[in-house]
């Protein structure tokens, strides 16, 4: 295979000297490599180069690997690129977070280069099997950085409605700061982050009222309201009904549908 056609592996790690043996092995087996020593640089290279696979560290300054993974999974150009976490972050919670964010594998340092090579080959074979070269690829949607951050923030919020951290922590989890995140929400959604969170909680509450028999208190807890009273007040202000009235009306409508097919 000509070198220009060889798969490109992007390595994002702030201590690349630890991976010298692995890099030597990968080059010896015909892979092209691109190295980024910090997350922002890695993000830009991933978008520009669209590598076949990414090896990603977790503990890096400024932006950690989990935050970078969130952004890469929201950017259309990189959302299907397999990401293998290669890191010393060894706790069970860290390993589970990496996999839940979309990492295809999680390898601990110090690593055995031959094992990493084997894992890379497995994941590339899976990609090539599922995406044959003959398939016609659709045009890739283009998003600017703010749009990617917005998508990552919305996903983060929607997945953690019941136990959301403060605005500053939400912003850090998606690679920015609170003022910029607030500006992005106002520009793209016409509302503040807190207004979006409130709407998301009420939407989830509506769905649970319709699709479950959970108590109002349990629903309030699950979607992040401090009490059933707070949930009821916000729900009535938004929809003109209390949660109980909404559930009764919805139940009555469903009964009519079933009675008159």
Assign 141 a pLDDT band (cuts: 50, 70, 90). Answer: confident
Residue that wins the pLDDT comparison between 198 and 143? 198
User: Domain check: are 16 and 50 in the same one?
Assistant: yes
User: Domain check: are 217 and 156 in the same one?
Assistant: yes
Establish if 136 belongs to a structural domain: no
pLDDT digits 0-9 by tens, 213-240? 999 999 999 999 999 999 999 999 999 9
CATH classification of the domain holding 209: 1.10.10.60
Establish if 43 belongs to a structural domain: yes
CATH classification of the domain holding 105: 3.40.50.2300
Q: How many domains does the chain have?
A: 2
Query: Do the beta carbons of residue 32 and residue 45 sit within 8 Å?
Result: no
pLDDT digits 0-9 by tens, 50-60? 999 999 999 99
Establish if 34 belongs to a structural domain: yes
Query: Do the beta carbons of residue 58 and residue 65 sit within 8 Å?
Result: yes
User: Domain check: are 62 and 175 in the same one?
Assistant: no
pLDDT digits 0-9 by tens, 160-184? 999 999 999 999 999 999 999 999 9
Domain span including residue 167 = 145-259
pLDDT at 75: 96
Mean per-residue pLDDT, 98-102: 96
pLDDT at 216: 96
Has residue 259 got a pLDDT over 60?
A: no
User: Domain check: are 220 and 188 in the same one?
Assistant: yes
Establish if 140 belongs to a structural domain: no
Has residue 94 got a pLDDT over 80?
A: yes
pLDDT digits 0-9 by tens, 19-52? 999 999 999 999 999 999 999 999 999 999 999 9
Has residue 96 got a pLDDT over 50?
A: yes
Burial label for 17, CB within 10 Å (0-12, 13-18, 19+), is: exposed
Establish if 53 belongs to a structural domain: yes
pLDDT at 121: 97
φ/ψ of residue 26, rounded to 5: -65, -40
Has residue 67 got a pLDDT over 50?
A: yes
User: Domain check: are 25 and 66 in the same one?
Assistant: yes
Establish if 26 belongs to a structural domain: yes
pLDDT at 127: 84
177-184: list long-range contacts, CB under 8 Å, 24+ apart: 180/149, 181/149, 181/153, 184/146, 184/149, 184/150, 184/153
Cα–Cα distance, 177 to 222 (Å, whole number): 27
User: Domain check: are 124 and 23 in the same one?
Assistant: yes
Strands (E), 103-150: 105-108
Range from 4-13, 99-108, 167-176 carrying the lowest mean pLDDT? 4-13
User: Domain check: are 33 and 69 in the same one?
Assistant: yes
Q: Classify residue 102 by its DSSP letter.
A: T
């Amino acid at each position: 295979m000509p070198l220009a056609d060889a798969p490109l592996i992007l390595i994002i790690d702030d201590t690349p000297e630890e991976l010298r043996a692995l890099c030597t092995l990968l080059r010896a087996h015909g892979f092209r490599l691109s190295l980024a020593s910090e997350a922002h640089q890695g993000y830009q290279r991933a978008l520009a180069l669209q590598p076949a696979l990414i090896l990603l560290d977790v503990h890096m300054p400024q932006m950690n690997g989990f935050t970078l993974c969130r952004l890469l999974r929201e950017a259309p150009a990189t959302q299907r690129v397999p990401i293998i976490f290669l890191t010393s972050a060894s706790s069970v919670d860290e390993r589970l977070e990496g996999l839940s964010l979309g990492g295809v594998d999680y390898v601990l340092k110090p690593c055995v280069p031959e094992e990493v090579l084997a894992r890379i080959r497995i994941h590339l074979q899976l990609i090539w099997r599922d995406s044959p070269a003959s398939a016609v690829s659709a045009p890739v949607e283009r998003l600017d950085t703010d749009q990617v951050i917005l998508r990552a923030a919305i996903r983060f919020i929607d997945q953690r409605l019941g136990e959301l951290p403060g605005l500053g922590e939400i912003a850090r989890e998606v690679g920015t700061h609170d003022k910029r995140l607030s500006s992005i929400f106002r520009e793209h959604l016409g509302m503040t982050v807190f207004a979006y969170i409130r709407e998301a909680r009420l939407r989830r509450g509506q769905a649970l009222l319709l699709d479950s028999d959970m108590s109002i208190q349990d629903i309030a807890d699950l979607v992040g309201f401090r009490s059933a009273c707070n949930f009821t007040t916000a729900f009535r202000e938004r929809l003109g009904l209390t949660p109980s009235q909404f559930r009764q009306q919805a139940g009555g409508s469903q009964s009519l549908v079933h009675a008159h097919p």
